[in-house]
Chains A and B, each alone.
Chain A
């Protein structure tokens, strides 16, 4: 009995999603009266013992270089072996690009029930019931996991990182890794920008900005807030902004602490992608824009006047000016 958490790494470092998964897994272990252990695959440039501060007692490390490439088929075999070797009965992964591919395969390999896009700790008062996102954020479902081994793929920004004191015991895991069939021939990392799904604050623009040349005022606000930038679907479809910035039902779904919607009317498809944001600020000249109904704070006015003023005030607060 233990909770095994995949702390996935990118180029040797742990991202926010891995730390969220570790914190969630540690809390879950506490709830189940068992221990939390981490699984790290591939070469890492971080002190693994320090993962103990997120509440894991042990870190199992399979340092095989072949694992620096995420091939879901290869990863699944290795993780399944690690689950068997450690006797884990709950596996926690992040529902990021890596985790969602692996979790599905692992569910089949271990014949273990999977809760993808989970947003809460399980309710174990009657079985093992995990809340997950359904209908693209318009609702949630309480899913009962009905097998001995359970897999939880945790949505991004759904659980707060909890760091305390502690050192984990690092154990090397000797698992033979069969090479996969996928060859990686090129990698293109977006550098310098905050990835949207990981951002705690997001400033997003819609057609109200009138054209791509006007994005400067939005980027200024984003910079002052240390926020990522996003856009609505019409904006991406008009090629004003790159497609990877499109949030909404058919773009990416995000759940930042702060979502500032600028010149976006708030169609239901857009709301689906952002309505799990903790706080929503809507700035729109049309007081009838449906987005105001989903907002916590609203400003009815000309965005070209409002945005620079807001940016100034944010800078004042942060002591940038």
Chain B
């Protein structure tokens, strides 16, 4: 069994979001970087659990990014995984370009399973898994909440419109993971020590098209200010919601 987990570097969930250069670039100054939570808590941990069950499993991690991704890759390796690949590029805003890099690496690795998080908390595209699957012509199960392996078949519970369904799919398959698939863990000392010596291969990107470009960013307009209503005047709150805000 060979598993590839895609991990992205994102700003910490509490990071202040600001932009620079005429709102064309994210202000990275003072930002703490983390492994995208969906990639770490669900995709990576489930893959580690599968390796714990079957020690012959080979677990690789892949990140598309510059050298500044290395600390989060080491952290991921401290949680588990045998080695990591970093595709060395800072061209990260177009999902097609990023997915093309992952697909290229995946082709030569002959993976049975490719895991991603359901989306990244920065670009929120939820596109990489589907794009990689299409590039490799593999089935894609999105928004998995449970993942079990029975030989060469995966049994996956996934979120659909208004509920869940159970899918059975032969490997290889691409799966995007979310809450339910695994429980987050923290790395232990042994993991942290061993991560230092695990291979982190840096490869150069392949030529791929960029289909989109970000023109500018915008922050939401500030709220006009809160209207405080006294606790003994709920009739007034209801009137405001009905007549002023027109939402009830």
Q: Give A contacts to B, CB under 8 Å.
A: 8, 10, 15, 17, 70-73, 76, 96-98, 100-109, 111-117, 129, 131-136, 138-147, 180-190, 195, 201, 225, 243, 246, 249-251, 257-258, 268-269, 272, 275-276, 278-279, 281-282, 292-302, 305-306, 309-310, 312-314, 316-317
Majority SS at the chain A contact face: mixed
Contact B13 A268 (CB under 8 A): yes
A108 CA / B17 CA spacing, docked (Å): 30
A292 CA / B229 CA spacing, docked (Å): 12
CB of B216 closer than 8 Å to a CB of A: yes
**For residue A267, which residue of chain B has the nearest CB?**
B14
Q: Which 8 A-B pairs have the closest CB atoms?
A: A104-B130, A301-B231, A189-B163, A108-B134, A113-B211, A104-B127, A101-B142, A105-B134
The contact of B234 among A117, A201, A292, A310, by CB within 8 Å, is A310
CB of B87 closer than 8 Å to a CB of A: no
Contact A281 B237 (CB under 8 A): yes
Contacting residues, chain A, for B205 (C-beta < 8 A): none
A105 CA / B140 CA spacing, docked (Å): 9
Contact B231 A269 (CB under 8 A): no
The contact of B13 among A97, A269, A312, by CB within 8 Å, is A269
Quick one: given A185-B167, A268-B13, are A141 and B217 in contact (CB under 8 Å)? Answer: yes
CB of B141 closer than 8 Å to a CB of A: yes
The contact of B180 among A8, A115, A243, A278, by CB within 8 Å, is A243
Most buried by A among B95, B127, B141, B240: B127
How many cross-chain pairs have Cβ atoms below 8 Å apart between A and B? Answer: 273
CB of B122 closer than 8 Å to a CB of A: yes
A-B contacts besides A142-B216, A293-B226, A305-B231, 5 pairs, CB < 8 Å: A114-B125, A117-B126, A141-B215, A250-B38, A257-B247
Contact B226 A97 (CB under 8 A): no
CB of B28 closer than 8 Å to a CB of A: no
The contact of A295 among B41, B162, B220, B223, by CB within 8 Å, is B223
CB of B228 closer than 8 Å to a CB of A: yes
A123 CA / B96 CA spacing, docked (Å): 22
Contact A105 B130 (CB under 8 A): yes
Quick one: given A107-B127, A183-B167, are A201 and B215 in contact (CB under 8 Å)? Answer: no
Contact B231 A300 (CB under 8 A): yes
A160 to chain B, nearest CB (A): 13
Contact B227 A296 (CB under 8 A): yes
5 A–B pairs (Cβ distance < 8 Å), ordered by A? A107-B95, A108-B135, A114-B96, A306-B231, A310-B237
A96 CA / B73 CA spacing, docked (Å): 31
Contact B217 A73 (CB under 8 A): no
A62 to chain B, nearest CB (A): 19
CB of B168 closer than 8 Å to a CB of A: yes
Contact A297 B134 (CB under 8 A): no
B6 to chain A, nearest CB (A): 13
CB of B207 closer than 8 Å to a CB of A: no
Contact B95 A313 (CB under 8 A): no
Quick one: given A268-B14, A317-B242, are A243 and B179 in contact (CB under 8 Å)? Answer: yes
Contact A143 B143 (CB under 8 A): no
The contact of A103 among B37, B127, B169, B238, by CB within 8 Å, is B127
Contacting residues, chain A, for B209 (C-beta < 8 A): 111
The contact of A298 among B168, B169, B226, B241, by CB within 8 Å, is B226
Quick one: given A135-B121, A181-B169, are A114 and B212 in contact (CB under 8 Å)? Answer: yes
Contacting residues, chain A, for B223 (C-beta < 8 A): 293-296
A106 CA / B127 CA spacing, docked (Å): 10
Contact B231 A299 (CB under 8 A): yes
A113 CA / B93 CA spacing, docked (Å): 12
Contacting residues, chain A, for B38 (C-beta < 8 A): 250
Contacting residues, chain B, for A132 (C-beta < 8 A): 124
Contacting residues, chain B, for A251 (C-beta < 8 A): 179
Contacting residues, chain B, for A182 (C-beta < 8 A): 139, 141, 167-169
A73 to chain B, nearest CB (A): 5
